[in-house]
Amino acid sequence: MAINTLADKIAKFAVEDGTTESKIANLTFFRASAPEAAEQGVYNPCIIIVGQGQKCAYFGDLQIQQIAEQSGFGSATVFCRNFKKEYSQSPREYRDTLPSTK
């Protein structure tokens, strides 16, 4: 799935769950940087979504709660539910499938 498509889906989920547009603004970073990193073969510890959940934002060492908050979701529960609905796996399961940088 294309990174921008993932980011757009995450933003869509956030809006459906009542997230404000200002909270979604931080997704722009991922839209701009994730494709460039992917083209260069750069792998961070975990890629999300999960664009705002699998819109390929980078997990790094962040906890799921932190990712949910930074993505504009009201809670990790809402973020995880939407992520799993779209990708048939939890953010943690998705993270476990990515190459490790450690």
Instruction: Summarize pLDDT for 62-74 with one digit per residue, the tens.
Output: 788 887 777 777 7
Quick: pLDDT tens for 29-76: 444 444 554 454 443 333 344 444 444 445 566 788 887 777 777 788
For residues 12-18, give the mean pLDDT: 61
Residue ranges of domains in the chain: 3-96
Q: Which helix (H) or strand (E) holds 93?
A: helix 91-96
Question: What's the 3-state SS for 31-88?
Answer: HHHHHHHHHCCCCCCCEEECCCCCEEEECCCCCHHHHHHHCCCCCHHHHHHHHHHHHC
pLDDT band at 19 (very low <50, low <70, confident <90, very high): low
Phi, psi of 49 (to 5 degrees): -125, 180
Q: The pTM is what?
A: 0.46
